[in-house]
Structure 1
């Protein structure tokens, strides 16, 4: 089985009913690898278990003075050693493949889940938890999955060795057959404390990772206000808690490892002492005693694997439980069999707020509450995770079709939501722009519309090897080498390049100066001509470019019209845009409600408030 088959074309569907079921499913998904590893384990350990036989025959041949038997015993020992070495190589290769397969599968499942949940993931589970699952937890899960095959081989060889000793000397065979399970069970009282302490260590480690990620992300701001020492002290305290928990967990592990050495050693001493008594009484030969001793001493290897498996299962269950928690997060989805007729010519309507974005127009949405605006922007993309907006609410409709009833891939292809704080992944500029796109807009047009020439210059200066081809310029992790405004414009260019039928932009120019914002507003208007665009903003420079502006008050679309008319006629609108104090009840004009939506939202007058 070649490593080039990874990553998996399809990581499959995990079993999420319990951590144990999740681990069993991972084993079933690599049946061939598990079978091969079990076979190579039997070959390796079987030859090792049989080695005492030729050794015993050789010793007996020396006692009897039979040189021919001695040569035959030596040849058999050499053959068993060679086959055991071959089995060791094959087992190691297959075990590593099984480990990598399990790790890759879990990472692909977590990555697919993160992509499926989108921006809602970080609000439902800590970022540090996702990082921990994708790094440390997958290694523990892979360790147990690959160990299962070796465990099967160890149990099979133990039974075969016990049966062989039982035939030669029933009393010794019975001791071997019953003694190994007793020794293996001696670690059980330690498993529950180990699992509990490791779970505590993992929880504290996830919090420390989350704190570190938040500190690094806000390092520039922290330095500006002199708060880096405060956060450094917090991280020190968190890391010390992780260290203390790790020490407590290590104490249990060290006790288990001590048991795996001490108890099998005592067992071998006891069996050997009894065998010597039998040899002294003449009931067994010296060669048989040597063979029995060798077989009994060999059983320390299966016992170590049994102990390792108990340890691996304890930590893997904790890690699997965290992976199951991440993978169990679900989105609200309908039957998934509905389809969108023509997204580019369909109105986008939210029945909760009454907001309508007309097809082919640039609609600006003004909302005094930034958090509500962000939640509404995400709602317009459909498939909002449950629990993020309270009770279940009607789905956003595109052309009369509920987005929650549309397959996720089709809904995302129709409506793209540009987040207020978009993420730039590390890599080249070409990789950043390697996104599904209509082909109508090329990267240079998108960059020009976002007024990102200075961003290109900064990237070229930071990547000396990219002087000839700016698309080869490297972007650092999360674009931290760029300013906030530069990151924002680069992300906006990526969204414009995608050119979706419906584009929702949440404060796309909040980090740029007024002059640049004015030019971006003009570029956005030109680039999205004839395409449905929704912009959440309170900047007059953007609002003045919109075909239609809608004011959201009290969770509903309160007034609608063009920016300049609303500034003249609507005090409530003017308050939000100019950030002035709202006039009293007797000093302002009454709000004009948007008419109830009809089947054709285009029938609303642009100046209708």
Structure 2
């Protein structure tokens, strides 16, 4: 019984593409070794068959020894059975090695995507990351499948050389030196192929990036009538990719033609030398038949070498792209000098703005520039350590940068202004970890004034959400994400503009229910908003000017005592 996903022993070796390929090989040593062993048996059984056929002709046919003929025929039949079985087993082991390598790489890329957060899209385009996981990982895996055949072909070449040496040392030298020379001649065709494949991969990545950006912004593009601009851009990238693919095809065709020419030339030379030996009386007719069979078989190692080189090139290019993804460092990481997470009921303090979030209260942060308020509260969630180095955020007595990241993510949840939903059942979108029953989920939807959304869905909580929740309006997505935030049961919940896309009546219900739900559990809540409907329901308001706390108090007090605050609220109203 196999367990999935495939295990990973230690971090990957990302010092170079070659080292990464070796590291992947080390992760699947057993499967790879089995494939190589089976490939060797498969190729060796093919290599021995011409020798057995030659002996059958000399001993059984020419020598008129029918028991010997039957014996050699039996051996030949046995070799055919071994070849058939080992061929099937080699293919299975090779494909297994291919899939293991590919899915291990996909898993590493997936872990990097989930671990790096905003750092990855700032370093690489979405299309580039998609191409890496969907294409490069599988191209990389091909090299382990072809490796089983390459090693088997090399072993068979040595077996054939030994068998031919017994017949003619001259032909043995020809085989021993000729096959490597023929393989070396193909390198002159491989070099341009490597450059063209790298060019084609770059063009494909750029095309995918444009396609992903176009699909992501399709609604906006249609709204402003600008889709034709991106379509033209995608068409240009597609043509560029097509042209580079044609150039790669030219190189592949040259490689195919070259290996046929080189292997065929070697076969002709080898057969001519063998025929000359027969005419000179140095070898028997049966040995000539065996030599002819060897000459045909020796095309296999040459073809295997050419195919392997082409796949190694693709794997090297794919590994380089995977390493580019794995090399992206997250904006946050656990500190080398960790400190314990503070006890429940500890205040959060943003040193740059001066915002103090008192435990157990519903606090609103208001600013003339909403970005200032958003930056202040987002720092409380510790999404970028470089920012915190400039303005230390304290959680109780602890520097937030040194608190274990797992504790921060569990106890401080930030729900940003741009809500995101993923594809899958609605129940899983609201409760990703499956920790709540349906009653609790419905209560959260009620608190977020989102039960009416559920009433309009045929499947209820089992409704299949489309990608990014495109089947919902902006206000519906916002309320569903708010319900999801409630269900985290976070000790500290930070909400950025949670009601910006809903109407006034819905906003009023959300404001009153938000306060009731969070106060009932004694939780701490921070809201970035300038809506008077929400501000009336909060316990405390912090007003920022130029990124610093300018005033704080109740909404009513600030409306009468702080004109700048009143102007912001009235303008939002």
TM-score, length basis structure 2? 0.92
Contact 2:47–2:159 (CA<8 Å) still a contact in 1? no
Q: C-alpha separation between the residues in 2 aligned to 1:25 and 1:376?
A: 43
**Aligned in 2, Cα 1:178/1:422: closer, same or farther, shift over 3 Å?**
farther
Instruction: Give CA-to-partner distance per residue, 1:290-349, whole Å, 9 cap, x none.
Output: 22222232122222222122111211112111111111212343126432132x412122
Structure 2 distance, partners of 1:36, 1:527, is 60
Identify the residue that residue 476 of structure 1 maps to in structure 2: 466
* Contact 2:101–2:141 under 8 Å retained in 1: yes
Root mean square deviation, CA, Å: 2.4
8 Å CA contact 1:354–1:556 kept in 2: the answer is yes
Matches for 1:357-376 after TM superposition, within 5 Å? 357-371=357-371, 374-376=374-376
Deviates more, 1:319-328 or 1:159-168: 159-168
Q: Structure 1, unaligned stretches of length 5 or more?
A: 461-465, 581-609
Residue 346 to residue 269, structure 1, CA distance change in 2 (3 Å)? same
Q: Residues 266 and 403 from structure 1, CA distance in 2 versus in 1: closer, same or farther, beyond 3 angstroms?
A: farther
Q: How many residue pairs end up in the alignment?
A: 566
Counterparts of residues 26-41 of structure 1 (less than 5 Å): 26-41=24-39
Counterpart check, 1:427 vs 2:424: yes
Deviation, structure 1 residue 383: 4.7
2: CA distance, partners of 1:395 / 1:10: 36
- CA 1:78–1:307 in structure 2 vs 1: closer, same or farther (change >3 Å)? same
Aligned to 1:269: 268
1:134, 1:305 → 2: CA distance?
27
**Cross-structure match for 1:381:** 381
Which residue is 2:45 aligned to?
A: 47
User: Structure 1 residues 552, 260: closer, same or farther in 2, change over 3 A?
Assistant: farther
Separation in structure 2 between the aligned mates of residue 438 and residue 563 of structure 1, nearest angstrom: 36
CA contact (8 A) 1:382 1:395 kept: no
Q: Kindly report which structure 2 residues correspond to 1:112-511, keeping only aligned pairs within 5 A, or say none.
A: 112-331=111-330, 332-333=332-333, 334-335=335-336, 337-342=338-343, 344-371=344-371, 374-384=374-384, 389=387, 392-436=389-433, 442-460=440-458, 466=459, 470-511=460-501
Per the TM alignment, residue 572 of structure 1 is displaced from its structure 2 partner at its CA by: 3.3
Query: 2 CA distance for matches of 1:67 and 1:525?
Result: 99
State the 4+ residue runs in structure 1 displaced beyond 6 angstroms: none
Of the structure 1 ranges 200-209 and 549-558, higher mean CA displacement relative to structure 2 is found in: 549-558
User: Do 1:419 and 1:506's aligned partners in 2 also have CA atoms closer than 8 Å?
Assistant: yes
- Name the SS of the counterpart of 2:422 in structure 1: coil
**Judging changes above 3 Å, is the alpha-carbon distance between structure 1 residues 324 and 179 closer, same or farther for their aligned structure 2 residues?**
same
Distance 1:239 1:290 in 2: 53
**Alignment of 1:71 onto 2:55:** no
Report Cα offsets for 1:12-32 as digits up to 9, x if no partner. 421111111111111000111
Per-residue Cα deviation, 1:558-596 (whole angstroms, up to 9, x for no partner) = 33333333233333334444449xxxxxxxxxxxxxxxx
CA offset digits 1:191-226 (Å, max 9, x no partner): 443333222322222222222222222222322333
**d(CA) in 2 for partners of 1:178, 1:374:** 72
Equivalent residues of 1:550, 1:559 under 8 A apart: yes
Residue 573, structure 1, aligned to residue 565, structure 2: yes
Which residue in 2 is equivalent to 1:601?
none
Q: Deviations over 1:82-120 (max 9, x none)?
A: 011111111111112111111211111111111112244
Preserved CA contact (<8 Å) 2:127 2:208 = yes
Q: 1:86 to 1:512 in 2, by over 3 A?
A: same
SS at match of 2:457: helix
- Cα distance in structure 2, aligned partners of 1:280 and 1:375: 91
The answer to whether the 8 Å contact 1:507/1:536 transfers is yes
Aligned-pair distance for 1:385?
Answer: 6.2
* Contact 1:59–1:287 (CA under 8 A) maintained in structure 2: yes
Deviation of 1:132 after TM superposition, in Å, equals 1.0
Residues 476 and 177 of structure 1: CA distance in aligned 2, closer, same or farther (over 3 Å): same
Instruction: Give secondary structure in 1 for the equivalent of 2:493.
Output: strand
SS of the residue 1:417 aligns to: strand
For 1:34 and 1:238, how far apart are their aligned partners in 2?
A: 39
What is the alpha-carbon distance in structure 1 between the residues aligned to residue 205 and residue 530 of structure 2?
38
Q: 1:11 to 1:198 in 2, by over 3 A?
A: farther
SS in 2 for 1:528: helix
Supply the distance in 1 between the matched residues of 2:373 and 2:91 (Cα, whole angstroms): 55
Q: Give 1:543-554 correspondences, 5 Å limit.
A: 543-554=535-546
The farther-off stretch of 8-17 and 211-220 is 8-17
Q: Is the 8 A contact 1:451 1:520 kept in 2?
A: yes
Moved more, 193-202 or 237-246: 193-202
Match of 1:51, SS state, is: helix
Moved more, 363-372 or 493-502: 363-372
- The alpha-carbon distance between structure 1 residues 59 and 551, as it changes in their structure 2 partners (threshold 3 A), is farther
Q: In structure 1, what is the Cα distance between the partners aligned to 2:67 and 2:150? A: 38
Q: Is the 2:90–2:148 Cα contact (8 Å) retained in structure 1?
A: no
**SS of the counterpart of 2:233?**
helix
Find the aligned partners of 1:49 and 1:253 in 2 and give their Cα distance: 28
**Matched residues in 2 for 1:179 and 1:521: separation?**
83
Give ranges in structure 2 of 5+ residues lacking alignment: none
Change (3 A) 1:58 1:313: same
Q: Which moved more, 1:258-267 or 1:152-161?
A: 152-161
Structure 2 distance, partners of 1:578, 1:286, is 105
